[in-house]
Amino acid sequence: MYDAGCPNVAAARTVLTRALREAGAPAVWTEWCTEDPACPEDHRRLGSPTILVNGKDVAPGPHLWAPRQQGEGPRSRTYREGDLVVGSPPFSLVSAAVHKALEPDAV
């Protein structure tokens, strides 16, 4: 999930590509712009960027932003990576989610 104009989308794509390739999975996914009317309603409230693996947020909340009101600009989401605050999901979280999804009993 991403908001149009989010400065961290490219970094999230790079992290997801790396995690999938290192796990031996194809680097293919579905992207949703939260401003697209076709975007599922429950996805529109997520900050930008958000990566879901098998429908689960790789960095579940609680999240520190308020829901976006109609007509407001993009909301940037931040993540913790050790002592740092970063703008895209950390590789360690994405990689762990991808590996878990690839387990034989993953749902």
The CA-atom distances, in angstroms, between 67 and each of 32, 42, 47, 53, 100 are 17, 11, 9, 22, 29
Q: What is the mean pLDDT of residues 4-26?
A: 94
Instruction: With cut-offs at 50, 70 and 90, classify the pLDDT of residue 84.
Output: confident
Lowest mean pLDDT among 11-15, 26-30, 38-42: 38-42
Model's pTM, two decimal places? Answer: 0.84
SS3 category, 57: strand
pLDDT in tens, 65-82: 544 555 565 577 888 888
Domain residue ranges in the chain: 9-61+71-101
Looking at residue 64, what is its pLDDT? 52
